[in-house]
A and B are shown apart, each in its own frame.
Chain A
Amino acid sequence: MKKKLDFKNFSIYFDQYLFISITLLSIMGLFFLYSASQEDLNTVIKQSIFVGFGLILMFAVSQLDPDFYKIFSGTFLVLSILLIFATMFFGKEINGAKRWLDLGFFTLQTSEIVKISLPIFLASYLYNKALPISPKHTFITLALIGFIFFLVYRQPDLGTGLVVFMAGIYILFLAGLSWRFIFTSLGLIVLSLPFLWNNFLEPFQRQRILTFLDPSNDPYGSSWNITQSKIAIGSGGMSGKGYQEGSQAHLSFLPEAETDFIFAVIAEEFGFIGVCILLSIFFFILLRCFYLALNARDRFCRLTIGGLSLVFASTLFINLGMVVGIIPVVGMPMPFISKGGSSLLSFYIAFGIIISMATHKKLMQK
């Protein structure tokens, strides 16, 4: 009996579809990064340490029972908010932005954590609320989302702030936000856009949007990035220029080739065919998450899987949209591909939690 129990305790929680596709993406990412960093082995070694550690972390995180996350979600959120406050005081300032905590061995972008802890907390807060979500809970939720968005936005980091904001909204929406509320608030947002424009956006952010809407109006040259990115992608053609043959990346025309614009390097070197293969892996991951969300054991798990997978999808689409020039440049990494430890680890953790939520079945009671 004891042995049996022990055996049960040792059961492994594992989704081979997600695990294989994420591992595949990570390895492809290292391979792309080698070219995008202009064959800088150091960058790739550093990144592969994150990848290895991240995969282990993902596996470990998925072994914990969803109830653990449900119980500790509040603690996690408070901790991540404290980290953001810590960043505010002790953060490392780069290019006028305080987004990073220097941990000695690792520079942590603290907003990356809150984009996971917020949706989990909201899922644990809303999973037992009646449908549709009452105005009171809606406002409490919105206030929390707004507060955290504001903290991140102040760093300033509009891109991550928006993702955090969206993460919260996704949970609220999936949990059953009333449609009436949705339409009313959408109307109000449209009406308040001019106010937001004037009071919430930094001049450079306004300029980015203006430049995006009218590329010829570009006093600060911010469309250079997007022009070079488009040239890189477009010149890749159907089958690409070949690995390490991308002139835009290798002759430094492409800005941020290792991070935000790594997709342009991939498109330049592997062409439309390579783009389609890469995106089909992302697409597969999203479909798998969709399936897992629908088959999750309870509402909390459903909400968490749905919310986290949508955070992942949003990050991806913001990155892609920015690189091909359909949305303004906001600074957003491509998940599992771009250089950068914080974003990478946060997505391994997110998928570890998704796997945990999907694989832990409730013991049949009664």
Chain B
Amino acid sequence: MIDLQERVVEKKSFFNRLIVIYLFFGLIFIFFLERTYSLQISEFRDYEIAAIENKTKEILVQPVRGIIYDRNGTIIVNNVPSYDLIIKPWEIPNLNNFIKEISLIVELDPKEMEYASENFTQRSKYNRELILKKNLTKVEIARFEVRSYKFPNAFIDERYSRKNNYPHLFSHAIGYVGGISNEQLSSIFEEQALKQNETIFSYSNGFLIGKTGIENKYDKTLRGLFGKKIFEVDARGKFVKQTNYIEPKNGDSLFTSLDLNSHKVAYEKMNNRRGAVIAIEIESGSIVTYLSTPSFSTNDISNGISSNAFNALINDPNKPFFDRASQGRYSPASTIKPAIGLYGLEEGLIDWNFSINDPGYFILPEDQRVYRGWRKGGHGNVNLNKAMIVSSNTFFFSLAYKSDIDSLINHLSNFGFGKNICLDCFNPDLGLLPTPEWKMNNLNFGWFKGDTVNLGVGQGYLSATPLQLAYYASVLANKGSHKRLTLVENQTLKTLENLPLKNIKNPDWDKLHSSMIGVINDPQGTAKRLKDLKTYTVAAKSGTVELVSTETKEDYKIIRENEGNRDHAIIIAFGPMPNPKYAVSVVIENGESGGSVAGPVAIAVLNSLVEK
């Protein structure tokens, strides 16, 4: 037992000790309040955002892709709606019963049923929709719609597939669309400030992206902006309700410079031969015809094709996927001669009166090597005008022989050779404008005088795409003024440029045009057969690309047995003269004669453009 005094001491000790503990708890309490204060007040914004992010899930809504028109406002590429049957798995207690019932209305194939049963449970768990059947027929839609009251847990929704109304005419110019890669999707999300992790599209998976041609180059314009459905979700990710809807912004329509009618004509005339046709509206630099043949159906590629059919296209020796118009490399052959002639005039190497005797060949003084013309015996006395009309190689061999290779290359480059001359073409090839450095670096050989001589007739290493040839034709037609090429109207970037030719005056251009008119109109012209195919005057220069060098016509007859050895046929043309509106280039692989094989195609395309 403790006595009274001790009791006082005890009480005091108890009091002190209780205070110690209470003070300790007080400190903890203050610390706790401080924590709560900092969570709720100081860091409120962060946690508020975190809470909202926790509970919101955004589902992207796809925009509808823009429509592509031709220059006259005709729809070329459009979106066609297709209708899908979509179910709400979380409202369906038993999938098998449901399928049994709905099969009476809409037939399901085993693949579709398998897909449904594989994904049913998970979709149901998270309240996500599920596509039961794609591309319903009109009959199926009607059958479902009248009975839709029986299926509150299913509905039909519209989605779009891409359709080119002229699938073979614009295979390369407009190109095709296809499924998007994760990387592309991710960069689009970044562009449109969307969350990167959101890759679940609401029942319209398979967002399309332009893969080639205009569909690719103008993808951003055509694509539009995603909309969003914003859902509230619980901790398991289950949709609770839709809280907001932001409409997608559909893609903008695109008005191209392409002319449907000329494409029809070009396609028909090419008749699936390997080659390309390009036509340009000279004043604007607009590409109005852009055809590479043989072509393929873009709709098949965009919307699905059997693997057999696809393999057949891939393995087709005529390479339908290859865009000959902007990626095919061809020697310009004799079509280079106007540019060489202009070079001679500019440098004062020749004038219009200057003439040589053409024995049918040119002998290189350095090594006595013989460079032959196309006609045995030659063309006799030729000046520039006649050399153009009859396409005298000897004249241009000797002119090239006199030229300085560096300034000649510079001169040719001004016409677009070796350069990208199109602002919005898909993957254009630059062709090849050979230089001595190029030859040394790539072939380990120095530049011979013979190489320069070959350049004079567009043979040898020089190569150009049909696109470049058409551009070159338009520069010639417009007397040296030119605009870069485009496929879509209203390009503000384009400015008119002039060739830096000091000594070429208007009369020189007129004489050059007149010699090119002579190519068709002169009885000796290499393309004289074209004369009656039109009602107006056309200037042209044909070319025949030698693939195998032969000494005699007999030799050629032997090698032409193999179609792949036959000469390519090339022509550039512009008209109607004297104020040309359109420039055309046509290449037909192994077509043999520029004038009589490529020529009719060029004239037909010009006709379609001029005689509207």
Q: Which residues of A contact B (CB under 8 A)?
A: 128, 130-131, 170, 173-176, 228, 230-238, 247-248, 251-253, 267-268, 271-272, 275-276, 279, 283, 286, 290, 293-294, 299, 302-303, 306, 310, 313, 317, 320-321, 324-326
Q: Main SS of the interface on chain B?
A: helix
Contact flag A310-B21 (CB < 8 Å), given A235-B51, A248-B51, A294-B15: yes
> A131 near B36 (CB under 8 angstroms)?
no
Contact among A237, A303, A320 for B40, CB-based, below 8 A: A237
Number of B interface residues in the complex (CB < 8 A): 42
Which residues on the B side are within 8 Å of A230 (C-beta)? 39, 47
- Shortest beta-carbon distance from B56 to chain A in Å: 9
* Structural contact, B18 and A272, CB atoms closer than 8 A: no
A321–B25 Cα distance when bound, in Å, is 12
Contacts of B54 in A (CB 8 A): 228, 231, 247-248, 251, 253
Across the two chains, which residue of chain B brings its CB closest to A287? B22
Q: A131-B10, A248-B54, A251-B55 are in contact. Are A324 and B235 (CB under 8 A)?
A: no
User: Which A residues are CB-close (under 8 A) to B7?
Assistant: 299
Complex: A317 Cα to B37 Cα, angstroms:
16
Please determine whether B21 and A231 come into contact, CB atoms closer than 8 angstroms: no
Q: Is the CB of B32 within 8 A of A324?
A: yes
Interchain nearest-CB distance for A132 vs B (Å):
8
Instruction: Name the one of B14, B18, B50, B240 contacting A235, with C-beta atoms under 8 angstroms.
Output: B50
B349: Cβ under 8 A from any A Cβ: no
> Which residues of B sit under 8 angstroms from A283, Cβ to Cβ?
29
Taking a contact as CB atoms under 8 Å apart, the answer to whether A272 and B51 are in contact is no
CB closest chain-B residue, reference A229: B39
Task: Tell me whether B17 and A173 are in contact (CB under 8 A).
Answer: yes
Are A130's CB and B50's CB within 8 A? no
Contact assessment for A252 and B6 in the assembled complex, using a CB-CB cutoff below 8 Å: no
- Flag B10-39 by CB within 8 Å of A: 1 or 0 each: 110111011001100100110111011101
CB distance from A7 to the nearest CB of B (A): 32
What's the Cα separation between A205 and B40 when bound, in Å?
A: 29
Structural contact, B44 and A252, CB atoms closer than 8 A: no
In the assembled complex, B1 has its CB within 8 A of some CB on chain A: yes
Judge whether B41 is part of the interface by a CB distance below 8 angstroms: yes
| Interfacial chain B residues near A302, Cβ < 8 Å | 11, 14
The reply to whether A317 and B32 form a contact with Cβ atoms under 8 Å apart is yes
B46 at interface, CB cutoff 8 A:
yes
- Residues of B with Cβ closer than 8 Å to A? 1-2, 6-7, 9-11, 13-15, 17-18, 21-22, 25, 28-29, 31-33, 35-37, 39-41, 43-44, 46-48, 50-52, 54-55, 232-236, 240
Q: What are 22 A-B contacts defined by CB distance under 8 Å? A: A174-B21, A175-B14, A231-B47, A232-B51, A233-B40, A233-B47, A234-B43, A234-B47, A234-B51, A235-B44, A235-B50, A235-B52, A236-B40, A237-B41, A247-B51, A251-B240, A271-B40, A275-B40, A279-B29, A286-B22, A290-B18, A294-B18
Query: With A253-B55, A326-B32 known to touch, is A317 a contact of B25 (CB < 8 Å)?
Result: yes
Closest residue on chain B to residue A282 by CB atoms:
B29
Across the two chains, which residue of chain B brings its CB closest to A230?
A: B39
Complex Cα–Cα for A272 and B44 (A) = 11
On chain A, the residues within 8 Å of B232 by CB distance are 247, 251
Q: Which residues of B contact A326 (CB under 8 A)?
A: 31-32, 35
Q: How far is the CB of B41 from chain A (nearest CB, A)?
A: 6
Chain B residues within an 8 Å CB radius of A232: 51
Given contacts A234-B50, A238-B41, contact A252 B236 (CB under 8 A): yes
Known: A173-B21, A317-B29. Is A306-B14 also a contact (CB below 8 A)? yes
